[in-house]
Amino acid sequence: MTGDHWGYGKEDGPSAWHRHYPVAKGSRQSPIDIIPDEARRDSSLGPIFLKYDRCTSLSIANNGHSVVVEFDDSDDRSVIQGGPLDNPYRLKQFHFHWGGKGCEGSEHTVAGVGYASELHLVHWNAVKYTTYEDAATAPDGLAVLGIFLEQGDDHRWLHTITDVLYMVKFKGSATNFKGFNPKCLLPSNLHYWTYLGSLTTPPLHESVIWIVLKEPIVVSEKQLGMFRILQFSGEEEDQRMRMENNFRPPQPLKERISVVVHDTGQEFLRYSVD
């Protein structure tokens, strides 16, 4: 396991990442198990505000670890702000983590219980840093919005993504994905937990202000199954490996004081759409 050659198998999976990424055993690693009864309430913590412009979506790709939707982050058309953030953070990309059929696949857990999948919307601090790469190594460089996916009925808008997954079945494949507004993947209630953590994949930089929404969105097993047509492997590789169980388990809280919760008032649909 060298360079980008990491994965989710027995030999190259999360338990082995520390060999090449020592920060894997660091003091603010993610994900974590969120214990609601132990979360600290902070009355000064306000709601989050999301402004997403569908014109900023660019492409969808299989990077060999997940399916990733990339956005134009050259300006502030698509941003998250408020809550624990001092200024707007620009949307860079979003991706998913999921398990095998009928299994949990979220990275964060709540009181030891996981969800079927987890969506991560990755934003960066363009006020303090010139590039995403610079921000990704800074303690306050990134803000990731985590959304749980719970198995149930069909999700009205997820098909927009699942319908094109066959076009990015193999590692390294990509296609245009224009006009998509991720606000359609948000739950109606934006109450959240927040804590200081890290990227959940190598290089595992401890640069993330995590905002994990308390309310999940509901998706069907059929929709989740569409993600499992993806392959960890490239089209030219002899050994095909179905993409599933691409999640890191919860990490120790260590010296972090607590998780902060914002769940006061009626904070419904606090986003705007251009």
Output helix, strand, coil percentages for the chain, rounded to the nearest 5: 15, 30, 55
Q: Domain map of the chain by residue range?
A: 14-273
pLDDT (0 to 100) of residue 273: 29
Q: Can you give the pLDDT at residue 257?
A: 63
What tens digit of pLDDT does each residue of 25-68 get? 999 999 999 998 888 888 888 999 999 999 999 999 999 999 99
- Model pLDDT for residues 166-202, shown as the tens digit of each residue: 999 999 999 999 999 999 999 999 999 999 999 999 9
Cα 223 from Cα 106, distance rounded (Å)? 15
Report how far residue 64's alpha carbon sits from residue 260's, in angstroms, rounded to the nearest whole number.
Answer: 33
Q: What is the pLDDT of residue 200?
A: 99
What is the C-alpha to C-alpha distance for residues 207 and 200, in angstroms, rounded to an integer? 11
Q: Is the pTM of this model over 0.85?
A: yes
Residue whose tokens read 């989050």: 48
DSSP class of 191: -
Q: Which residue has the higher pLDDT, 264 or 214?
A: 214
Greatest alpha-carbon span in the chain: 56
Q: Is 97 in the active site?
A: no
State residue 56 phi and psi, 5-degree precision.
-90, -10
Query: Phi then psi for 268, rounded to 5 degrees?
Result: -110, 130
Distance CA 216, CA 158 (A): 14
Average predicted confidence (pLDDT) for the chain: 92
Answer for the pair 97, 105: CB distance below 8 angstroms, yes or no: yes
Residue in 138, 142, 143, 181 with CA at minimum distance from that of residue 52: 181
Helix, strand, or coil here: 132? helix
Interior angle at CA 81, CA 202 and CA 95, nearest 5: 35
How many Å apart are CA 172 and CA 211, to the nearest integer? 29
The pLDDT tens digits of the residues spanning 71-114 come to: 999 999 999 999 999 999 999 999 999 999 888 999 999 999 99
Q: What is the pLDDT of residue 57?
A: 98
| Catalytic residue, candidates 5, 18, 20, 65 | 65
**CATH superfamily ID and name for 14-273:** Alpha carbonic anhydrase (3.10.200.10)
Give the model's confidence band at 271: pLDDT under 50 very low, under 70 low, under 90 confident, else very high: very low
HEC letters along 208-264 = EEEEEECCCEEECHHHHHHHCCCECCCCCCCCCCECCCCCCCCCCCCCCCCCEEECC
Q: How confident is the model at residue 121, as a pLDDT? A: 99
Pairing of strands 271-273, 48-52: parallel
